[in-house]
Structure 1
Amino acid sequence: MRPRLVAAAYFGFGGDDDRLLRRVAAAQQLLHLGLCMHDDVIDGDRVRHGRSNVVGLAELEARAAGFSTAAAARQGEASGILAGDLALNAAVHALLSAPTADATRLRLAEAALVAVERAITGEILDVRSEQLAPASCDPLRVALLKTSSYSVTLPLLLGALAAGTEVTPLLGALERIGAAFGIAYQLSDDDLGLFGSPAATGKSATSDLRDGKRTEHIRLAHARADEEGRAVVDAVLGKADASDGDADLVREIVTATGARAAVHDLINWHLDHGIDIAFENLPPALAAYLADLAGALRGREC
């Protein structure tokens, strides 16, 4: 998705150098992979998209070599951190050596580094929120910083900047569109994380609960539930050995309180808001492409 957004913005603003586009789109994907590897370390994940990730592969190799469980885990985590560092470094290097004017290279690299800083801020807030009461958390702000910044806003900015766009209002519109679509994407992702099919998503539907993720579903359900319902959510949220049955109880509360329906309304509002900004500010072909993309985010199943 992210390289496609780079390409959409690049062509939408008149870019025509395929060599430059490939470099910038690849840099965007490398940045994404680097942050994913770091995220896997933070979350203790060994699998991504149904397959062993870098951490998991390195840990398996260490165990096969005779390392103890603790030593193998250390090898896995170190590999994830260092591989993520390499990917981020490669992304910035690709932008700084892109086949374009020096000024454009610097603008591209600066945009990427700002997005990484925002994503790190969102990650810190996300991790810290795991120890807070749901009412004290702000999942939408986390989504804005952690997801929107580099998954939607940055690709659009990179494509526009590579095409030579310097008009501040246009770049500002792209940031607002990225914020709206990014929040919608994260809310949709959270919905799949609680209600999705593991066979379709490649992810457990209980892992977010076990990790104690304070999603908007949980924040709203906790606020709307009665005392008994809140007690159930508190007991399951962050429980490392939460069962499928435990998760089903939370799902029932999220649904019964109207929290899930409210999140779906939020998803649609943000998508509609982003589409409106696109058609008001962007070239028609680019606005239409983004509107089609928004449509694909409604009712996601994977």
Structure 2
Amino acid sequence: MSAPRYTPTAQAVQDRITSYADTFGPLLRSYLIQLGEAFDHPAESAFTPNALSLVSDLALAGGKRQRAAFVYEAARLPGTEAVAGAADIGALAIELLQTALLIHDDLVDNSSTRRGIRSTFGSYTAQMPAHPQYAMGMTVMAGDLASYLAADVIAASDLPADLALAMTRVILRAGKETYCGQMIDLERDFTALPDLAFLDTVSDYKSGRYSIIAPIQLGLLAAGHDPAPHHDTLHRYSRAVGILGQIRDDYISFFGDPKVTGKPDSVDARAGRLSYPLREALAAATIREKHHMRTVLGRTDATDADIDMVRDIAYTHGVDETLRTMMGQRAQQARDEAATWHLLGWDPDAVGFFAESTLWGAERAS
């Protein structure tokens, strides 16, 4: 699986997200440099500045900056002038929260790489090979540090107090709901075979709440617009996009090329994680194939040949095509929801961005 080739519509979305990323990247780097220079920590401690350095490394290692782009685009929706600097602060906060969640996610998944570099957990494991419990503990604390920074960047800003409070509440709610999603994500793997509704709920809480609705809420607040009256339509949109995004990420993780994804392609299988591809493969497999899969899933010592066997079973039953169909359905669902935002009098170009970004999301799995 190579890097995606986009249709012109999806490419236009990608180009706009890239333009935001090009602007946001230096802002994030400047913030992290200033933070490092002014960071209050025990002078005797080497672990503390190292933790901040690892947080910074992951935050700056790449990523599409889709969440930051959603903040900036949502600030355009009402057609009003945004509060100076508010969208920047919202974008910094959501990307720092993303960093925190990735750090914890890699610990939970026992993933050694992220974004083409060592994950924070991988770095600590390498630094502390004789102390695995310390490596896990430091990973948790580094992730917690990034979580607090996500709220602190708002609290320490010069934004009006009422706006800062409202944005902080968005970040805290997004973090709370996402951690609930992480917990039910683990709970999923304690069932014999979760149904799709269960996986969709996981995706809503684990992905849609902080990746989609929170950035839109932050952007609307930055534009001086209360997002509360629009919660239902924003949630319908974010849920559909969140489910689409999780299916796509699971698809890429299972069927993709690690050189493109920046992550191992066998993490879910070796951890026994019942992701969308593995759930669909188990549901479609014959009794004999199920037995073969169960002898591999959850085995950390599974060989590449073992993983290939599981993948071959998935291909045999058209799981790749099934997931593509599911992604297309969710993309259309979200696109139809975004199209209703014209009725709110919101900016047509910004509405179009959110509508077409669903197609971009689906095509990233191509």
TM-score (norm 2): 0.75
Deviation string for 1:154-203 (max 9, x for gaps)? 11111112212225443332222111111101100000111001111111
Deviation string for 1:133-171 (max 9, x for gaps)? 124672221111111111112111111122122254433
2:207 aligned with 1:154: no
Contact 2:113/2:264 (<8 A) preserved: no
1:26 to 92, 103, 112: 92
> Displacement, 1:18?
4.6
2:167 aligned with 1:108: yes
Contact 2:83/2:222 (<8 A) preserved: no
**243-252 vs 115-124, which moves further:** 243-252
Correspondence for 1:8: 73
2:247 to 187, 202, 227: 187
Correspondences of 1:272-291 after superposition (within 5 Å):
272-282=332-342, 283=346, 284-291=348-355
Q: Distance in 2 between matches of 1:182 and 1:59?
A: 31
Correspondence for 1:58: 124
Deviation string for 1:21-62 (max 9, x for gaps)? 111110111111111111122222232122112233233334
Correspondence for 2:357: 293
Correspondences of 1:53-202 after superposition (within 5 Å):
53-62=119-128, 69-71=129-131, 73-135=132-194, 138-166=198-226, 168-202=228-262
Correspondence for 2:13: none
The gaps in structure 1 that reach 5 residues or longer are: 63-68
Q: 1:133 to 1:75 in 2, by over 3 A?
A: same
Question: Once superposed, what is the RMSD of the aligned Cα atoms?
Answer: 2.0
Q: 1:215 to 1:167 in 2, by over 3 A?
A: closer
Q: 1:227 to 1:7 in 2, by over 3 A?
A: same
- Amino acid in structure 2 at the alignment position of 1:285: D
Q: Distance in 2 between matches of 1:47 and 1:9?
A: 32
Which segments of structure 1 move beyond 4 Å, counting only runs of 4 or more? none
Q: 1:131 to 1:260 in 2, by over 3 A?
A: same
Contact 1:176/1:274 (<8 A) preserved: yes
Correspondence for 1:251: 311
SS of the counterpart of 2:335? helix
Q: What percent identity do the matched residue pairs reach?
A: 26
The gaps in structure 2 that reach 5 residues or longer are: 1-65
Q: 1:9 to 1:128 in 2, by over 3 A?
A: same
TM-score (norm 1): 0.90
Q: Distance in 2 between matches of 1:61 and 1:111?
A: 35
Q: 1:244 to 1:60 in 2, by over 3 A?
A: closer
Q: Distance in 2 between matches of 1:261 and 1:231?
A: 23
Correspondence for 2:14: none
Q: Distance in 1 between matches of 2:200 and 2:72?
A: 27
Contact 1:201/1:301 (<8 A) preserved: no
- Amino acid in structure 2 at the alignment position of 1:94: V
Larger RCO (CA under 8 A, 6+ residues apart): 2
SS of the counterpart of 1:11? coil
Q: Distance in 2 between matches of 1:279 and 1:189?
A: 25
Q: Distance in 2 between matches of 1:168 and 1:108?
A: 12
Correspondences of 1:207-226 after superposition (within 5 Å):
207-226=267-286
**145-154 vs 275-284, which moves further:** 275-284
Contact 1:20/1:100 (<8 A) preserved: yes
Contact 1:54/1:79 (<8 A) preserved: no
